[in-house]
A and B are shown apart, each in its own frame.
Chain A
Amino acid sequence: EAGVTQFPSHSVIEKGQTVTLRCDPISGHDNLYWYRRVMGKEIKFLLHFVKESKQDESGMPNNRFLAERTGGTYSTLKVQPAELEDSGVYFCASSQFRKGTTEAFFGQGTRLTVV
């Protein structure tokens, strides 16, 4: 079974440019999450999809961030325009509703550097 995959693994962009991150969850997982880790800090929640619906986007920093999950499969996270403070590692995770288990499975992350 394929795990959560993220693309690209690294991205270096200039301030003001646009970047789109992609996440392919584990097949059949209804829950999809985006998280971000700024160097040395906690892994911070950004948002949560159930299928194609946004359940909780309370962690999205501002309206420069746009997440979509068309058709309830893969998801994209677009940052437009990127600012220096957007640098960090962006993790995607997925999970399935199943009684007795709530762990989420993470992708390898996309390291975003805004210069």
Chain B
Amino acid sequence: DQQVKQNSPSLSVQEGRISILNCDYTNSMFDYFLWYKKYPAEGPTFLISISSIKDKNEDGRFTVFLNKSAKHLSLHIVPSQPGDSAVYFCAALRSGTYKYIFGTGTRLKVLA
């Protein structure tokens, strides 16, 4: 039973436009959410996170939105750049466990 779901396996966006990556979770006990970016042959790299006490966190071109009632979060990248092309993983954490639960990833392709 997958507790963190990324239903879109891939997404293509034109350079300069907004990329929106979505993630849903089922366990209401999760209280911390993270996004990781992964290039081929590399490990996942931490991108941005959000605590469940917030509904938005912004870092430069990256913004994560959390909708607790819908158990949904999204990552917005504005403006998208070709270097953003990678696989993006959503992860959830229940505080005190340090056990990250990952989704299956969304492959983002930013077209020049």
Contact = CB atoms under 8 A, between A and B. Distances in A.
Contacts of B91: 43
A102 B4 contact: no
A108 B41 CA distance: 7
Contact of B98 (A41, A91, A95, A106): A95
A96 B76 CA distance: 28
Chain A at the B interface: SS class: strand
Interface string B34-64: 1010000111111001000000000000000
A12 B4 CA distance: 31
B43 A104 contact: no
Interface residues of A, number: 26
B85 interface: no
B100 A106 contact: no
A56 B4 contact: no
Q: Which of B43, B45, B89, B99 has the most CB of A within 10 A?
A: B43
Interface stretch (B11-19, B67-75, B102-110): B102-110
Interface of B: 2, 4, 32, 34, 36, 41-46, 49, 89, 91, 93, 95, 97-105
Interface of A: 4, 6, 31, 33, 35, 40-45, 48, 55-56, 58, 91, 93, 95, 102-109
Given A103-B49, A108-B41, 14 more contacts: A35-B100, A35-B102, A40-B104, A43-B89, A56-B97, A58-B99, A91-B44, A93-B43, A95-B98, A102-B93, A103-B34, A104-B46, A106-B43, A106-B44
